[in-house]
Amino acid sequence: MPNPNAIQTIKDYFDRHKGLQLSNRFIVNFYNLPSNVWNANGVEIQAEQVILGPRSIFTIQDGLMGFGGGRFVPRSQNLLSAGYGVQIVFPVTNDNYILNLFNRWFNNFYPGPRSSTNGLRNAFILPYYDDAVYNVVMEVQMLDPNGNPNNVTSFYEVFPIECQPIELNMATSDKYLRYTVLFGFRDYYQNFNV
């Protein structure tokens, strides 16, 4: 048996598996956004950071005789455990493109009288789930060093849950504005055979 700590063994392992996945090689795409949020299909947005939330399995003890409360049996899956979903950080450009896009997306769910083009007539009216969420897909592609996808994770029934506070600060002169959005989703699928 080869020494698992030998340099050649470690090198062979990474060679067999095509090297290491770089964390800074990724693309984020949105598809089927509601028409009043974006009028094009396949919106590609430059994201600075993507944080994929934890995946957890809820269990229940079966109460069988024996030590303790019995075995832990998987009961359900939680994709949004402890407020996590998919958190994405976007750089803000001088035309405020990202701020405008997400402002329109949030207003699509819950428009106030000043955000509605028809004033009070459409204020505080929620859209149908099938129109606002059901068809929305977000893809996060992990890329190899040549820009080819290694892994495509598709999130289905995506919607923004919250945005983090925006910090404007006169004490710094070399930082750009970032906008952080937490997304919820109903299900996802990872395709490793890209």
For 115-135, write each residue's pLDDT tens digit: 655 555 566 677 788 888 889
Mean pLDDT over 17-41 rounds to 84
What does residue 117 show for φ and ψ, rounded to 5 degrees? -70, -20
pLDDT of residue 81: 46
- pLDDT of 61-116, one tens digit each? 887 766 767 778 887 776 654 456 899 999 999 988 889 888 888 888 877 766 65
**Biggest CA-to-CA distance, the chain:** 75
pLDDT of residue 127: 75
C-alpha angle 34-40-42 in degrees, rounded to nearest 5: 95
Q: Is the pLDDT higher at 137 or at 35?
A: 137
- pLDDT of 176-185, one tens digit each? 999 999 998 8
pLDDT of residue 115: 62
Q: Is the pLDDT higher at 175 or at 193?
A: 175
Domains and CATH numbers, the chain: 18-191 (2.30.110)
Instruction: Report how far residue 108's alpha carbon sits from residue 128's, in angstroms, rounded to the nearest whole number.
Output: 11
Cβ neighbours of 52 (radius 10 Å): 14
pTM, two decimals, is 0.80
Instruction: Report how far residue 91's alpha carbon sits from residue 68's, in angstroms, rounded to the nearest whole number.
Output: 51
The beta strand positions in the chain, using DSSP E, are 26-31, 43-45, 49-52, 56-61, 72-78, 86-91, 137-143, 149-156, 159-163, 178-184, 187-191
The beta strand positions in 12-148, using DSSP E, are 26-31, 43-45, 49-52, 56-61, 72-78, 86-91, 137-143
Output the CA torsion sign for 132, 133, 139, 140.
positive
